[in-house]
Amino acid sequence: MKKSSCLWIAMPVFAVFASGASANEQLIKLSKDPNQWVMQSGNYANTRYSELNKINKDNVKNLRPLWTFSTGVLRGHEGGPLVIGDVMYIVTPFPNNVFALDINNNGRILWKYEPKQDPTVIPVMCCDTVNRGLAYADGKIFLHQADTTLVALDAKTGKVVWSVKNGDPKKGETGTSAPLVVKDKVLVGISGGEFGVQGHLTAYNIKDGSRVWRAYSEGPDDQILFDDKTTSLGKPVGKNSSLKTWEGDQWKIGGGDTWGWISYDPQLNLIYYGSGNPSTWNPVQRPGDNKWSMTIFARNPDTGVAKWVYQMTPHDQWDYDGVNEMILADINVKGRPTKALIHFDRNGFAYTLNRETGALLVAEKYDPKVNWATKVNMQTGRPEVVAQFAPGSKGEDVNYKQICPAALGSKDQQPATFSPRTGLAYVPTNHVCMDYEPFKVSYTAGQPYVGATLSMYPPQGDNNLGNFIAFNPSTGKIVWSDPEPFSVWSGALATAGDVVFYGTLEGYLKAVDMRTGKELYRFKTPSGIIGNVTTYTHNGKQYIAVLSGVGGWAGIGMAAGLTKDTEGLGAVGAYKALADYTQLGGNLTVFGLPE
């Protein structure tokens, strides 16, 4: 594959990675340079905020597409591009092709990596064959393939430096998440909660791929890496805190998978991430709190040992995975400066915690139609559940109706953004409810272990399936809300130009005023947007880039050719009208202002 020699001369950032030990310092430095986009969420704090302001609320109306690139792959395109120096890196859904594009030359292909994967992994991928993006450090691009292979590629050439297997697709383990490099380690989770996979987060050495540690979500303390100092809401969790909440050995097929986002606080030396739903979806078959599924973890990245944990939805009865991003921001909460962690959970509650101690500070609904719980008890941290909307409370084979939100949550993995200019988070949301009927299911390795039939629809009295909102994490209040006909499945971007960008399932890139929510710009890309909006500069000019390619859970009907309302774990019926507005197709679109 041909390379542009002048391109690499123009990329001094590669020269700084003389050793893996320096990778973390260099990533911190690079992430503070708004001209590049070196992590999927922009920075370790997962704020998805950019200091760039050449595109602003006054001139964004003049934005226009400047160049495009077809990925050649259908299905859902989540995640977004990395921009390092003069090169943009993108990855497709299965088969997870990676492209290095020359932004000096409107996306000329510098190299392409095409992994050889067994297509039998596709049937064990829940909710589309997505990949949430690449990571970069030490002159390498890191990819977590669908078949769970973690690959390190030479960023200059695309050649494989090393690869390692992170799981076994024959057991239902798959790779959909974006890795994160912290110090000399690359961290990666696992997907497979609908197949009874015991969730884990694993750290590999960025130099050679050797495994450093693995922390499971459920099980004995030596597997979940708890010690006698691990706390929850300020109290020691106690010995074998997880085992006590499962019946027998159910924890071995307990789910709690880790396919979402990871953040990192270099000062506290803690990583933060969430675990997903317990297996099975039939709660009658797994009595107890099912710890530590549905949990926020704060861990030491050097050892993997957990400092604190907080379980948001004990004994999950709704499939409200807790994997959504943890945003780290220093804000005033109840009049006190706080090192905060902000989390918009699938369960419809927005949580603000002290990220040093795990203390719960705020927990409020960010969609008014949430009804499965009335509130979160601030002393115990537990939601106050409404039995009418709690599947399993009257046994199996009962259809529990009008539960809000649906299993795909008030927000799924699509990341929010936080602006320090306003102190507000800007959140792409789902406005969807469901009927949920649990039934008995048996476990077989590699086979679906769901145990529930779902159907989804808008809340009573509403026609829209989504909203894009501004939310105050200090007070727990919605500041403004823009309705959307379909769920907003795209990651958002806030900038110092007082603009927030997001994409819609019909395919629009939109820009709104971050203070009022007023729409300032829209452009319809070739397919629905479930990718995450990014920004960078090149030759002094600011650009906006986004992947379009409809799919994901909301678009699974189109992506996988499903037609029955209850297929796609209940999502197909809710989004049938989407096919009237967009079609499949993977594309990158890069926007800028006219000269």
| Whether pLDDT at 1 is above 70 | no
Q: Is 321 a catalytic residue?
A: no
d(CA 319, CA 257): 12
**H-type alpha helices, 207-338:** 221-224
HSE of 279, CA atoms in CB hemisphere, 13 A:
30
| Rounded average pLDDT over 589-593 | 98
For 476-511, how does the pLDDT look when each residue is reduced to its tens digit (9 = 90+)? 999 999 999 999 999 999 999 999 999 999 999 999
For 78-98, how does the pLDDT look when each residue is reduced to its tens digit (9 = 90+)? 999 999 999 999 999 999 999
For 108-123, how does the pLDDT look when each residue is reduced to its tens digit (9 = 90+)? 999 999 999 999 999 9
Q: What's residue 26's pLDDT?
A: 87
Which residue among the candidates 319, 321, 412, 435 is catalytic per the annotation?
Answer: 319
Give the contacts of 421 (CB within 8 A, at least 6 positions apart).
494, 496, 498, 514
For 207-248, how does the pLDDT look when each residue is reduced to its tens digit (9 = 90+)? 999 999 999 999 999 999 999 999 999 999 999 999 999 999
Omega of the bond leading into 280 within 30 degrees of 0 (cis): yes
Does residue 234 contact residue 356 with C-beta atoms inside 8 Å?
Answer: no
The sign of the torsion formed by the CA atoms of 308, 177, 341, 290 equals negative
Nearest to 204 by CA among 273, 154, 150: 150
| Whether pLDDT at 276 is above 60 | yes
Tokens 């992170």 label which residue? Answer: 166
| Whether pLDDT at 20 is above 80 | no
User: Going from the N-terminus, what domains does the chain have, and what CATH number goes with each?
Assistant: 5-592 (2.140.10.10)
For 296-350, how does the pLDDT look when each residue is reduced to its tens digit (9 = 90+)? 999 999 999 999 999 999 999 999 999 999 999 999 998 899 999 999 999 999 9
Mean pLDDT of the chain: 95
| Burial degree of 173 (CB within 10 A; 0-12, 13-18, 19+) | buried
Residues of 435-445 as b/e, b for ≥16 C-beta within 10 angstroms? bbbbbebeeee
Does residue 245 contact residue 254 with C-beta atoms inside 8 Å?
Answer: no
Tokens of 480: 């403004």
